[in-house]
């Protein structure tokens, strides 16, 4: 567990806000509803568990958990998969 | 014997003065006798042909160097990237050379900063120097492919580069393949991750990446993205060596620097090369034709930092001194605001443009910047009060540091520095007193075709 952190790809976030419900310790929403995340290393086990749930709960895959030593945030997906994800997100929002 | 000794330093006359008098020139030299990047025939003769280029400079014998030696020399030169990030050029090359796969070299010639002209000037006048530099980068990382990433509406730069690539194909052994890629327009399309994204076949949008492009970029190959001025410097470092390179500039940021002047100067759009430690005042006096400090100076681009004119006048154009003043050289733009203009009105105009340049990916950017711009417009119009000022500051806090690229943070930096620098103007506007500047009077150039995102 030592040295994991929650990171966000701001270009994916669509402001669903589920992460805030799941993990209020690390997530806050700005006045437009977009999440910003405390990207410091996570020290508590329960918070890490919530962070993991936030990662799985995010409908657009904007969150990730990385080792604290890793230089920066989520791996860029190939363009095609990003498009698929966007389509999926669009349909998910409609249904 | 290192490649640097002996016949490498011939008595080339680097001090080729421009043919126009200082103060009127677009092609000025400040703080030293010669020019480096801009040496050679005067501007009026247009782009330098390959034959003239070969005659003027000693040959670039890249076969002499091993890639490691070349990178060591570049490291010794201490060259910092000139695209705005001031990232050590050698580090990028080392990372790319160590990464898996054959690297690809990108010369980033988008220069999306509307008032900046330094890269266009280099491409238009010295295309072969830039392409030499691209060859140097390719040799330093073992690449066989160079992409010049260029906005094709910049007709003259495109023509110069394409002609230069054509000329170099003839009579030279096939080595590095060079091609021009037409970049889409826009402010954020020149950001490294956007460049990689575009060359990968997706849109030119900035991405937040886990690893730098130098590790894995275009087609998962290491991708070295360098600014035009950076590679032009490398063409000279490979010829004259790191020691020569460090003879100009400061120990912290060695080498000469290209700057563009804009706004209330003699010739807006003038490009100057500074060789020695000079203050901003000296540049403005010599090339800009100013006698007294202006009201304020916007440094480093439109998403840069305002500095009070008096302070800027005596601040050296040097990395540490600028950082102490809260600014950065960025892309080398020195935009001058005269005493007849209102800095707040100008900031509102620039912020509106910056807001429209958001790629529309990240909420804090595509919602926050227009909202900030709207409040600032109200402040300028005199319809805002103290509460709105508090709101602007709160909102700026929630935009800063967010998003996939530096665009929102940089734009908020412009606003922050404006609130600090133009305090007297701000008070006047809040008291609904009239402001001396005509509303909407634009000092700084914006692209004619810009639209405000609805």
Question: How much is the ipTM here?
Answer: 0.71
Q: Is B103:B97 a contact under the CB 8 Å cutoff?
A: yes
Q: What residues in A contact B209, CB-CB < 8 Å?
A: 72-73, 75-76
Would you tell me how many other CB atoms lie within 10 Å of the CB of residue B304?
A: 25
| Second-level CATH architecture of B36-246 | 3-Layer(aba) Sandwich (3.40)
> What residues does each domain of chain B span?
36-246, 257-336, 343-430
Across the interface, of A14, A32, A73, the residue whose CB is closest to B364 is A32
Q: Is A60:A12 a contact under the CB 8 Å cutoff?
A: yes
- What pLDDT digit, counting tens, does each position of B265-299 carry? 888 888 888 887 889 999 999 888 899 999 999 99
Residue A31 in contact with partner chain B when CB distance is under 8 A: yes
Question: Distance, in angstroms, between B220 CA and closest chain A CA?
Answer: 9
pLDDT of residue B436: 66
Name the closest residue on chain B to residue A30, using Cα atoms: B398
| Whether pTM exceeds 0.90 | no
Q: What distance in Å separates the CA atoms of residue B33 and residue B18, rounded to the nearest whole number? A: 11
CATH number of residue A65's parent domain: 3.30.70.20
| CATH no. for B343-430 | 1.20.1440.230
A-proximal residues of B, 382-401, CB under 8 Å: 395, 398-399
Count: domains in chain A: 1
pLDDT of residue B252: 85
- What pLDDT digit, counting tens, does each position of B387-445 carry? 888 899 889 988 988 888 889 999 999 999 999 999 988 888 888 776 766 555 567 88
Mean pLDDT, chain A, rounded, equals: 77
pLDDT of residue B2: 38
The arithmetic mean of pLDDT across residues A39-53, rounded, is: 92
Who's near B24: CB < 8 A, 6+ residues apart?
B266, B267, B289
Residue A76 in contact with partner chain B when CB distance is under 8 A: yes
- What pLDDT digit, counting tens, does each position of B94-118 carry? 999 999 999 999 999 999 898 999 9
CB distance B205–A11 less than 8 Å? yes
Pick B133 or B448 by higher pLDDT. Answer: B133
The arithmetic mean of pLDDT across residues B69-91, rounded, is: 93
Q: What residues in A contact B359, CB-CB < 8 Å?
A: 11
Q: What distance in Å separates the CA atoms of residue B149 and residue B199, rounded to the nearest whole number? A: 9
Name the closest residue on chain B to residue A34, using Cα atoms: B363
| CATH no. for B257-336 | 3.10.20.600
Closest CA to B253 of B232, B225, B275, B237: B275
Name the closest residue on chain A to residue B406, using Cα atoms: A10
The arithmetic mean of pLDDT across residues B305-324, rounded, is: 92
Alpha helices in B287-337 (DSSP H): 309-314, 319-324
pLDDT of residue B42: 81
Model confidence at B28, pLDDT cuts 50, 70, 90, reads: low
pLDDT of residue B13: 28
pLDDT of residue B308: 95
Q: What residues in B contact A16, CB-CB < 8 Å?
A: none
Task: Say whether pLDDT at A1 is over 60.
Answer: no
Closest CA to B337 of B327, B326, B325, B350: B350
Residue A93 in contact with partner chain B when CB distance is under 8 A: no
A12-16, B11-15, B251-255, B342-346: least confident range: B11-15
Closest CA to B334 of B263, B420, B407: B263
Q: Return the percentage of chain B with pLDDT > 70, whole number.
A: 88
Q: Which domain holds residue A64?
A: 4-94
């Amino acid at each position: 567990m030592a040295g994991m952190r929650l990171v966000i790809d701001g270009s994916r976030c669509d402001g669903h806000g589920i992460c805030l419900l799941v993990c209020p310790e690390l997530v806050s929403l700005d006045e437009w509803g977009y999440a910003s995340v405390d990207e410091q290393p996570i020290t508590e086990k329960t918070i890490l568990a919530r962070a993991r749930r936030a990662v799985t709960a995010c409908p657009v895959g904007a969150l990730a958990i990385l080792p604290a030593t890793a230089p920066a945030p989520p791996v860029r997906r190939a363009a095609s998969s990003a498009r698929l994800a966007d389509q999926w997100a669009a349909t998910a929002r409609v249904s | 014997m290192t490649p640097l000794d002996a016949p490498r330093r011939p008595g080339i006359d680097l001090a080729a003065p421009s043919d126009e008098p200082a103060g009127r020139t677009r092609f000025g030299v400040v703080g030293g006798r010669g020019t480096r990047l801009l040496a050679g025939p005067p501007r009026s003769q247009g782009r330098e042909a390959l034959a003239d280029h070969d005659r003027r400079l000693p040959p670039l014998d890249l076969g002499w160097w091993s890639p490691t030696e070349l990178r060591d020399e570049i490291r010794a030169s201490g060259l910092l990237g000139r695209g705005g990030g001031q990232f050590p050029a050698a580090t990028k090359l080392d990372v790319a050379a160590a990464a898996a796969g054959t690297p690809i070299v990108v010369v980033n010639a988008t220069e999306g900063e509307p008032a900046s002209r330094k890269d266009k000037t280099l491409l238009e006048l010295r295309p072969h120097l830039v392409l030499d530099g691209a060859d140097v980068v390719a040799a330093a990382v073992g690449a066989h492919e160079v992409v010049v990433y260029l906005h094709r509406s910049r007709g003259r730069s495109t023509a110069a580069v394409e002609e230069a690539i054509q000329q170099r194909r003839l009579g030279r052994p096939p080595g590095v393949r060079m091609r021009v890629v037409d970049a889409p327009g826009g402010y954020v399309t020149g950001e490294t991750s956007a460049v990689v994204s575009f060359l990968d076949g997706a849109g030119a949008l900035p991405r937040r990446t886990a690893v730098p492009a130098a590790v894995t970029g275009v087609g998962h190959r290491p991708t070295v993205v360098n600014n035009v001025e950076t590679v032009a410097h490398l063409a000279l470092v490979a010829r004259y060596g790191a020691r020569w390179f460090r003879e100009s500039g400061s120990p912290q940021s060695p080498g000469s620097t290209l700057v563009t002047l804009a706004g209330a100067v003699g010739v807006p759009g003038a490009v100057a090369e500074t060789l020695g430690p000079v203050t901003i005042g000296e540049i403005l006096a010599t090339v800009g034709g100013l006698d007294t400090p202006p009201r304020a100076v916007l440094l480093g681009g439109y998403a840069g930092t305002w500095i009070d004119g008096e302070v800027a006048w005596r601040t050296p154009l040097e990395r540490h001194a600028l950082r102490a003043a809260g600014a950065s050289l960025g892309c080398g733009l020195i935009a001058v605001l005269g005493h007849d203009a209102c800095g707040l009105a100008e900031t509102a105009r620039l912020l509106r443009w910056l807001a429209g340049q958001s790629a529309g990916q990240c909420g804090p950017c595509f919602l926050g910047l227009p909202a900030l711009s709207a409040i600032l417009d109200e402040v300028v119009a005199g319809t805002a009060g103290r509460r709105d000022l508090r709101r602007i500051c709160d909102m700026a806090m929630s935009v800063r540091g967010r998003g996939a690229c530096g665009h929102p943070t940089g734009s908020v930096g412009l606003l922050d520095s404006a609130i600090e620098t133009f305090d007297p103007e701000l008070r006047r506007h809040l008291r609904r007193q009239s402001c001396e500047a005509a509303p909407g009077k634009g000092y700084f150039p914006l692209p004619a075709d810009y639209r405000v995102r609805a």
